């Protein structure tokens, strides 16, 4: 993909300038669209280790968007005298990715976060960290509130992602306290929608693609573990509101509607009209048994809660995957 290049000077002196790392990813690309829709000039950064150029192809020729191919674990320099926001969304984010790329996952959570925070500090920008519900690990508290410290196995196979994000949160707060950087932290719960990769190891694309092909849906364990699923437009709206708020501590953004994985598989089969059956496989190591956000903080501080129902969101997502299978 070839994206239009712009001169270093801002397009409009009054236009907010935002940097988005991981811009070609599932969430990063939707965030870019959201920022452009709110009148931002956006500089997207990605090295395509897990991002997809197709996610940004619709922005070719958009004068308010500039793309830089760069690995944020290396020094990050933007030739602009002013940047208003740095959204750090770069990271492998699915089990397949961070199990295959453990060192890269740790590096982007540590070195990448350091570099992105350094950019925000140098430019006087507000910094927004994409953290995760995986900070809670296999939780002993349900639903999960932001003041819960979590139950994480730091040396397990999932620890590379969990601890990378926990470290990123710690570094973000250190820059806030020590350097006065305006920081925001969003803990993202399971999210789904168009632009997810078919084979990224997450349950929504796995189940939908299996159902559309008429293959058995793979349920790990007995399927009684729970998840809650937030449609991508709801999530991005919550993140944008957080970026505009004055709140500096972590905020859960997700949909609190909880159902078992088996129930979810059955719903996918029904919505796709598939003849697929359900096949059980052993539960992966440290796979969380329950996952449900407490979104009281988001409601009170941001006036945010999800508005897209599960079936509505799944129908849109299934329609997208029908073009990819």
Classify residue 282 by its DSSP letter: P
Taking a C-beta distance cutoff of 8 angstroms, is the pair 183, 173 a contact? yes
Q: pTM for the complete prediction?
A: 0.93
CA distance 53 to 46: 9
Token pair for 215: 């293959």
Taking a C-beta distance cutoff of 8 angstroms, is the pair 220, 153 a contact? no
Confidence (pLDDT) at 252: 98
Locate the domains of the chain by residue range: 17-194+230-256+292-307
Confidence (pLDDT) at 10: 52
Give me the DSSP letters along 121-183.
HHHT-EEEEEEEGGGGBS-SSSSBPTT---B--TTSTTHHHHHHHHHHHHHHHHHHHHH---E
Best CA proximity match to 129, nearest among 181, 66, 180, 81: 181
Could you read off the pLDDT of 56-95 as tens digits, one per residue? 999 999 999 999 999 999 999 999 999 999 999 999 988 8
Confidence (pLDDT) at 286: 65
Confidence (pLDDT) at 291: 87
Confidence (pLDDT) at 72: 98
* Distances, alpha carbon 74 to alpha carbons 114, 124, 194, 263, in Å: 10, 20, 30, 43
Phi-psi region of 214 (alpha: psi -120 to 50; beta: other; left: phi over 0): left
Classify residue 55 by its DSSP letter: G
Beta bridge partners of 188: 132, 253
* Distances, alpha carbon 230 to alpha carbons 39, 176, 203, 254, in Å: 25, 29, 13, 5
Taking a C-beta distance cutoff of 8 angstroms, is the pair 251, 318 a contact? no
The sign of the torsion formed by the CA atoms of 70, 122, 239, 99 equals: positive
Confidence (pLDDT) at 2: 37
Residues annotated catalytic, as ranges: 161
Topology of 17-194+230-256+292-307 in CATH?
Rossmann fold (3.40.50)
Cβ burial of 292 (10 Å; 0-12, 13-18, 19+) is: buried
Pairing of strands 191-192, 230-231: parallel
CA distance 217 to 325: 15
Angle at alpha carbon of residue 94, lines to 89 and 100, rounded to 5°: 110
Taking a C-beta distance cutoff of 8 angstroms, is the pair 83, 125 a contact? yes
Residues of the chain with pLDDT under 50: 1-9
Beta bridge partners of 184: 128
Pairing of strands 258-260, 41-46: unpaired
């Amino acid at each position: 993909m070839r994206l239009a290049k712009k001169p270093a000077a801002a397009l409009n002196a009054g236009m907010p300038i935002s940097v988005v790392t991981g811009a070609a990813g599932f969430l990063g690309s939707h965030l870019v669209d959201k920022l452009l829709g709110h009148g931002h000039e956006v500089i997207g950064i990605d090295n395509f280790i897990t991002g997809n150029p197709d996610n940004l192809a619709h922005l070719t020729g958009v004068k308010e968007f500039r793309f830089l191919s760069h690995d944020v674990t290396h020094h990050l320099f933007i030739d602009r005298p002013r940047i208003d926001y740095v959204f750090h969304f770069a990271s492998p984010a699915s089990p397949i990715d961070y199990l295959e790329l453990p060192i890269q996952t740790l590096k982007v959570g540590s070195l990448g976060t350091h570099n992105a925070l350094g950019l925000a500090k140098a430019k006087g920008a507000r910094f927004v960290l994409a953290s995760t519900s995986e900070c809670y690990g296999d939780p002993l508290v349900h639903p999960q509130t932001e003041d819960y410290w979590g139950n994480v196995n730091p040396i397990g196979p999932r620890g590379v992602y969990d601890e990378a994000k926990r470290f990123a949160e710690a570094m973000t707060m250190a820059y806030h306290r020590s350097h006065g950087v305006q920081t925001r932290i969003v803990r993202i719960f399971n999210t789904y929608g168009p632009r997810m990769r078919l084979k990224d190891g997450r349950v929504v694309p796995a189940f939908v693609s299996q159902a559309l092909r008429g293959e058995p849906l793979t349920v790990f364990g007995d399927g009684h573990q729970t998840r809650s699923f937030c449609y991508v437009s709801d999530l991005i709206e919550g993140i944008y509101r957080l970026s505009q708020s004055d709140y500096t501590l972590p905020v859960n953004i997700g949909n609190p509607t909880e159902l078992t994985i088996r129930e979810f598989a059955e719903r996918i089969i029904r919505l796709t009209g598939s003849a697929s059956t359900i096949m059980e496989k052993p539960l992966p190591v440290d796979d969380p048994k329950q996952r449900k956000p407490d979104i009281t903080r988001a409601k009170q501080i941001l006036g945010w809660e999800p508005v897209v129902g599960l079936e509505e969101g799944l129908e849109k997502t299934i329609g997208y995957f029908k073009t990819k299978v």
